Chain A
Amino acid sequence: MSVAVATNPSSAGEVILRLDGVTKQFPGVLALDKVGLDLRRGEVHAVCGENGAGKSTLMKIISGQYQPDGGVITYNGQERHFASSMEAQAAGIAIIHQELNLVPHLTVAENIYLAREPTRGWFIDKKKLVADAQACLTRLGVDIRPEALVRTLSVAQCQMVEIAKALSLDAEVLIMDEPTSSLTESETGLLFKIIRELKAAGVGIVYISHRLDEMREIVDRVTVLRDGRYVSTKEFAATSVDEIVASMVGRSLEEKFPERTRKPCEEVLFRVEGLTRKGAFQDVSFTLRRGEILGFAGLMGAGRTEVARGIFGADPLDAGQVYMGDKQLTIRSPRDAIDQGIAYLSEDRKSQGLATKMSVVSNMTMANPSAVANRFGFIDFVREAAIAKQYIDTLNIRTPSVHQVVKLLSGGNQQKIVIGKWLFRKSQILFFDEPTRGIDVGAKYAIYQLLDELASQGIGVVLISSELPEILGMTDRVAVFHEGRLTGILTTAATSQEEIMHYASGHKGH
C-alpha cells in the first residue's frame, strides 16, 4: 500500500531494509496498520509521530521483539522473519533502547559481550573480552574503561556502551530510540559525531526522537506515522519542522467530546509557585480557577506527572509553595494532600491506583475509610456497600457486585472506581493523569462527561494528557511542559495542536 519511494540521487544508496504493509494487532488496538519504510545504507532515517503513533512497535518489529501480523520485511534483498531479537541481532540489526538495557552489576566489557562471551574451554576468556571491548570503545572514541562497572557510569556513558555493543555486532542496521533524551548538549555532539562516522561506514540508522530541532544535523529522510498509519516520507532538507509537526498531529478532532456545561469563573481556587524537584522539574507556577479544566500537555518525560505527584506529596519537593485559595499548604505526604482536598489519579491504575486483589467496595472507600467506620475503627459493611452502590450507579460502573475483585473488571470500569474513590473523599482539586489511556471510546466519552460535570460543580480539574485532541477538546487552558519546565500557558480556544507541539518541543513561538 503506502510504501515510501522518494528517490533522490544525492542520498542514493542501496536499500538495505524495506518494510511493506507491516501490520500489528494488540488486543483491542491496531498498533500498526500497513506501514511501509525503506532504509538505505549510510542514511539516517528519522521516524516521527506523537506518543502512541506506533514508532516503538515498529522498531520492535524490525528488531525481532515482536512478530508482525501482516506485511513483508526485506533485509539485504531477502524476505526475513525474525522470531526473536537474537535472530535479528545475528543478522546485523541492533537496537539501542530508550530505556537502557544494561546489567548494572557487570562491567562494561561483560555487558558489551553479554551472552556472546569469548570462551577458552569452559571459561570466559577475560583477556580477549577486555581487549575486544576496548577495541569497540576506541573505535567510538570514547574514554570508558572496559573494566568499569556499568552502575558507576553516567547515563550518557551507558548510551555509549549500548552503541559500542551494537558496533560489536557489526550491525548493518542500527535503531536508536530517543538516544539524546538524557544527554547533555556536548554529549549529544559526541553522539552525532559517532553517528556521522557510522553513516560514512555504510550503516543504516533508524532514528527516533522527539527533538525535531536536532535532526537537522544528522537526519537525511524523515517518515511520519500517525495513529499506527504511515503518513509520509520526505527528504529532511526538503521539509521543515513545521511541516513535520503538522503531519504528525494532522488529524481532525474525530473523537466526540461532550458539550461543555462548566462555566469557569475568575476565582483562583488553587495555585502553585516556583515548584522545583531536582532532576524532574524546575520553577513551575500556575493557577487553577474554580470550575475550570486545566490541561497539562507535553511529551513523555516532560515532567507533567512529576509535577502532579510533587503537589500531591507523593514525591518530595525541593522548592516552591502550594496555595489553596489564599491559604498556603504544607504537604509532606499524600495523606496531607488528601486532607486538604487534593486528589491524584495516577496514570498507571494497576500499579498505583488500585489494590487489584481487593473488592470494588474496599477500593472505593480506601481513601476515606473513617467515613464508613465507627469511632472504634469497625467498618459498617452495610453503609459501605450502600455508598459503593451509590457511586457504581452515578458513575455507571459495570460490575456483577460490589464485592467483585477489581482485577476482573475492564479498564474503563477500573478507572471509574478510582474516580469514585476520590469523589467519595470529597476532593476539591483532582489531578487526572492520562485518565483515558487504554480505555475504549465509549468509556472515554463517559469519563469526559464526568470531567466536565466535576468542573461544573466547582471542582478544579487538571487533565494530564498526551493526546492533543483530548487536550483541545476537554480543557479551558493548557499548560505546556518541555523537559521539566513550563514553556507556556495557552488558552485552549485560541490555540492549535501545532502551537502546543511547538511549545512542547521546546520552541517558544514560531
Chain B
Amino acid sequence: MNDKQKDLIQKFAALASLLVLTAIFSLTSDAFFTVSNGMTVSLQVTSIFYLGIAATCVIITGGIDLSVGSVLALAGVVAALAVKEAGMPVPIGMMFGVICGGICGAINGYCVTHLKLPPFIATLGMMMVARGVALQITGARAVSGLGDSFGELGNGALFRIVNIGSDGFPDVVFPGIPYPVILMVLIAIAAALMLSRTTLGRHIYAVGSNAEAARLSGVNVNRVTLFTYVLSGTLAGLTGCVLMSRLVTAQPNEGVMYELDAIASAVIGGTSLMGGVGSISGTAIGAFVIGILRNGLNMNGVSAFTQQIIIGLVILLTVWIDQLRNRR
C-alpha cells in the first residue's frame, strides 16, 4: 500500500466509522433510521457543529478557543434581556446577542495577536469572564417569559406538512426542516467556501502551517488570526441565540463544556491541533459522529456516564490514527 492509498483510507476512516455507527444503531433500534429521528439528530448536532466550524477555523491557524461555551451563554442572555427588559423586537435582540459574541471574540483575538497571550490562556480567561458576566447580569436566574416569537428560530421548521385527520388530531406527514438545521447547512457551505476557495481561507491555512513564512510572504498574520477569533465569537453568539430560542428561556448556565465538544468534532474530523490542517467537511463528520453516538446510545438505553466514556475513547482513537498518518 503506498502513501497515497494510505492517506485516502485514513481520510475516509472517520466517514466510514460514521456509516458503521449508523448501520449498527439502525440494527439495534427500529426508531433510529427514520426521517424524524434524522431531523432530531440534525437538530441536536447543530450547536456542536456551529461551534465546531468556529473551532476548525481557529485551530487551523494553530490557536484554540476555550471560551465559546461561556460566550454562547452570555450572548443568549444578552439577546433575551434585550427583548424582555429593553423591549426590542426579537430579531434585533438576537442581533445584539450575536454582536456581543463577536465582541468577545475580538477581545480574544486582540489578546492573542497584540498582547501576545497564548490562545489557551486568553480564551480561558474569556471563558471565565463571559460566564461571570452572564451570571451577574441575570442574577444567576433563568430569563423566561420571552414570548412565542423568541422561540421561533429554534423551534420553527420549513416545509412542515401536517394534515388534520378526520378525528381532529394533527397527523405529521413531514416534520419539516428545522431552521437551525437550515442555518447549519448555510453556515457550513459558507465556511467551507471561505476556507477552500478564497484568499482569506488560504491565508488561514498558511498562518497555521508556517506563520513566519506567511508573514515573510506578506500575509497580515495578525489580521487573519484576529478574524478567526471574531468568527468564533460570532458563531458562539449565534449558537447561544439558537439554543436559548429552542428553550424559549435564557439560561446563564447553558453551554458548559460545549467548547470541548466543538474541539472534539474538529479533531475527529482531522483538524490538527498543530495547525495548518483541517476542513469543514471533516468537522461535519466529527460533529455527526458525536451526535449519532449520543443519540444511538440513548436509544439503546446506555447511560450518560457510559456515553462519556465511549466518546472519550473515540476521540483518543481518531487522534491516534491521525498521529499515525502524520508520523510517516
Chain A positions near chain B (C-beta within 8 angstroms): 312, 314, 333-335, 338-339, 344, 346, 351-358, 362, 365-367, 369-370, 373, 376-379, 381, 421
Contact = CB atoms under 8 A, between A and B. Distances in A.
B210 A356 contact: yes
Contacts of B217: 334, 338, 366-367, 421
Contacts of A367: 217-218
Given A334-B217, A354-B210, A355-B276, 4 more contacts: A338-B218, A355-B210, A357-B209, A367-B217
B215 interface: yes
Contact of A369 (B199, B212, B216): B199
A357 B207 CA distance: 11
Contacts of A339: 218
Interface in B194-230: 197-200, 202-203, 205-206, 209-210, 212-220
A421 B203 CA distance: 15
A346 B199 contact: no
A377 B198 contact: yes
Contacts of B198: 373, 376-379
Given A367-B218, A378-B198, A379-B198, A353 B203 contact: no
30 contacts: A312-B216, A314-B216, A334-B217, A334-B218, A335-B218, A335-B219, A335-B220, A338-B218, A351-B210, A351-B212, A351-B213, A352-B212, A352-B213, A352-B216, A354-B210, A355-B205, A356-B209, A356-B210, A357-B205, A357-B209, A357-B277, A358-B209, A362-B206, A366-B202, A366-B213, A366-B214, A373-B198, A373-B199, A379-B197, A379-B202
Contact of A334 (B197, B200, B216): B216
Most chain A CB inside 10 Å of its own CB: which residue of B205, B217, B219: B217
Contacts of A376: 198
A466 to B, nearest CB: 21
Contacts of B216: 312, 314, 334, 344, 346, 352-353
A352 B220 CA distance: 15
B131 to A, nearest CB: 33
Contacts of A379: 197-199, 202
A334 B276 contact: no
Interface in B63-105: none
B236 to A, nearest CB: 24
Interface residues of B, number: 22
Contacts of B200: 377
A366 B206 CA distance: 8
B218 A355 contact: no
Nearest to A373: B199
Contact of B213 (A312, A355, A365): A355
A377 B199 contact: yes
B213 A354 contact: yes
A171 to B, nearest CB: 38
A388 to B, nearest CB: 13
A408 to B, nearest CB: 8
Contacts of A362: 202, 205-206
A362 B197 CA distance: 11
B215 A358 contact: no
A269 to B, nearest CB: 21
Nearest to B206: A355
A381 B202 CA distance: 12
Contacts of B202: 362, 365-366, 369, 379
A370 B219 CA distance: 11
Most chain B CB inside 10 Å of its own CB: which residue of A334, A367, A370, A421: A334
Contacts of B277: 357
Nearest to B209: A355
B323 to A, nearest CB: 15
A351 B211 CA distance: 9
Top 4 A-B pairs, shortest CB-CB distance: A355-B209, A369-B199, A338-B218, A367-B217
Given A335-B220, A352-B213, A367-B217, A358 B197 contact: no
A392 to B, nearest CB: 18
A353 B276 contact: no
Nearest to B326: A357
A329 B219 CA distance: 20
B162 to A, nearest CB: 41
A357 B199 contact: no
Given A355-B276, A377-B198, A378-B197, A334 B209 contact: no
Contacts of B203: 369
Contact of B205 (A352, A358, A365): A358
Contacts of B209: 355-358
B8 to A, nearest CB: 14
B327 to A, nearest CB: 13
B215 to A, nearest CB: 6
Given A352-B213, A358-B209, A377-B199, A366 B276 contact: no
Nearest to B219: A366
Contacts of A344: 216
Contacts of B276: 355, 357-358
A339 B202 CA distance: 19
A353 B213 contact: yes
A358 B277 CA distance: 9
B206 A334 contact: no
A146 B210 CA distance: 40
Given A334-B218, A335-B218, A379-B199, A358 B206 contact: yes
Contacts of B205: 355, 357-358, 362
A358 B217 CA distance: 14
Nearest to B274: A357
Interface in B286-309: none
A334 B215 CA distance: 7
A492 to B, nearest CB: 28
B278 to A, nearest CB: 11
Nearest to B215: A334
Contacts of A352: 210, 212-213, 216
A339 to B, nearest CB: 8
B193 to A, nearest CB: 8
Contacts of B206: 355, 358, 362, 366
A351 B205 CA distance: 15
Most chain A CB inside 10 Å of its own CB: which residue of B198, B216, B276: B216
Contacts of B210: 351-352, 354-357
Nearest to A345: B216
A362 B198 CA distance: 12
B210 to A, nearest CB: 5
B190 to A, nearest CB: 12
Contacts of A366: 202, 206, 213-214, 217, 219
Nearest to A376: B198
Nearest to A366: B217
Nearest to A312: B216
A408 B323 CA distance: 17
Contacts of B215: 314, 333-334
